[in-house]
Amino acid sequence: MIVEMRPSATKEEIEDVVRKATSLGFSSHLNMGSNKVVIAILGEITEQVPEESFTHLPGVITVAQICTPYKLSSREFKSEDSLVSVDGIEIGGKRVVVMAGPCAVENEEQIMAAAKAVKQAGACILRGGAFKTRTSPFSFSGLGEAGLRLLAEARERFGIPVITEVTDPRDVDLVLRYADILQVGARNMQNFALLTEIGRSKHPVLLKRNFASTVTEWLLAADYLMKGGNNRVILCERGVRNFEDHSRFSLDICSIPVIKRFSHLPIIVDPSHAAGHYLLVPAVAKAAVAAGADGLLIEVHPNPCKALVDGPQSLTPSMLTLLMEDLKSVAEAVGRYI
């Protein structure tokens, strides 16, 4: 349920509503928008929050149910777009934010070459996995903390923030020490213990869509993060699974305008895992920006033929440079910039 307060509601009036919610056994989440103040009052799905307990409290304008199953990530709770700021880079505003780098951090030479290339091409965030969720238990699964240290070194050397995946709730504190953005991979979208742990931090988090999940399930996963008080959530569409086998996954391009309509959270697109082949990546990346994505997550490797993970879908540094030029025109055509 949401309680909308008068824009001029006093701190005491807001606190009264929160206190009332607490006394009835519900949690409350405050959104101080620029022109309205909204409090979401949430309980278990079986418990209906009694509207009449709030309608007559001072400062309250309206009390209404949130119609969608997801609550905190919904536009009904927050009508304005959310901006997630990472080291001064705003995700969700006019700028299309390009994050790029190798699938996995492999060694110092590789990640430094990748960081240099990413920076030179004009991308502004470096990606690289230190903990990899691999389908086969026999595949390279990342360097762990040594990989995180290399990423942090690359950040210092090239002045570029880093995004890296965390796969286990027990590693959240460790990854937090090194990463500017925590990535939750597609396979962990519904790892609720992991989401709850990350929700406790106030760190920016990129939540990838699982390839077999609906938008509703994806936004409910975002609610897990937000319920703990972490509002710095960025969504990432990376393709879903269907009958098609000419690309690795099928990018759900509709999810971009769908998210924009039903959620206030920024959404970026990973064209690399959707396409699965480097030749397809530029077209998919441009389509995503044209459709309104707030950014891209692109795999780039200094030598894709030697990559330990996802070489076939990785761009070379020169391909990234060319793509960035094209992306600038697409972004401009839809009123954005890179």
User: Using CA atoms, how far apart are residues 59 and 83, in angstroms rounded to an integer?
Assistant: 27
270 binds Mn ion (CB under 5 A): no
The residue within the footprint of ligand PEP, chosen from 273, 286, 301, 336 (CB under 6 A), is 273
236 binds Mn ion (CB under 5 A): no
103 binds Mn ion (CB under 5 A): yes
**How many binding residues for ligand PEP (CB under 6 A)?**
9
| Residues 294-333 contacting Mn ion, CB under 5 A | 310
185 binds ligand PEP (CB under 6 A): yes
180 binds Mn ion (CB under 5 A): no
78 binds ligand PEP (CB under 6 A): no
231 vs 314 by CB, closer to ligand PEP: 314
The residue within the footprint of ligand PEP, chosen from 71, 155, 208, 301 (CB under 6 A), is 208
- The pattern of x and - marking residues 134 through 173 that bind ligand PEP according to CB under 6 A reads ----------------------------------------
| Residues 1-40 contacting ligand PEP, CB under 6 A | none
39 vs 181 by CB, closer to Mn ion: 181
Q: Which of Mn ion, ligand PEP, none interacts with 185 (beta carbon under 5 to 8 A by kind)?
A: ligand PEP
The residue within the footprint of ligand PEP, chosen from 5, 14, 130, 186 (CB under 6 A), is 186
Quick one: which of 150, 237, 232 has its CA closest to 198? 232
- For the bound state, the minimum distance from the C-beta of residue 191 to ligand PEP, rounded and expressed in Å, comes to 11
The residue within the footprint of ligand PEP, chosen from 71, 238, 260, 286 (CB under 6 A), is 238
Q: Name the residue with the smallest CB distance to Mn ion.
A: 103
80 vs 244 by CB, closer to ligand PEP: 244
Three-state secondary structure along the chain?
CEEEECCCCCHHHHHHHHHHHHHCCCEEEEEECCCCEEEEEECCCCCCCCCHHHHCCCCEEEEECCCCCCCCCECCCCCCCCCEEECCEEECCCECEEEEECCECCCHHHHHHHHHHHHHHCCCEEECECCCCCCCCCCCCCCCHHHHHHHHHHHHHHCCCEEEECCCHHHHHHHHHHCCEEEECHHHCCCHHHHHHHHCCCCCEEEECCCCCCHHHHHHHHHHHHHCCCCCEEEEECCECCCCCCCCCECCCCHHHHHHHHECCCEEECHHHHHCCCCCHHHHHHHHHHCCCCEEEEEECCCHHHCCCCHHHCECHHHHHHHHHHHHHHHHHCCCEC
Q: List interacting residues with Mn ion (CB under 5 A).
A: 103, 310
Contact set with ligand PEP (CB under 6 A):
103, 129, 185-187, 208, 238, 270, 273
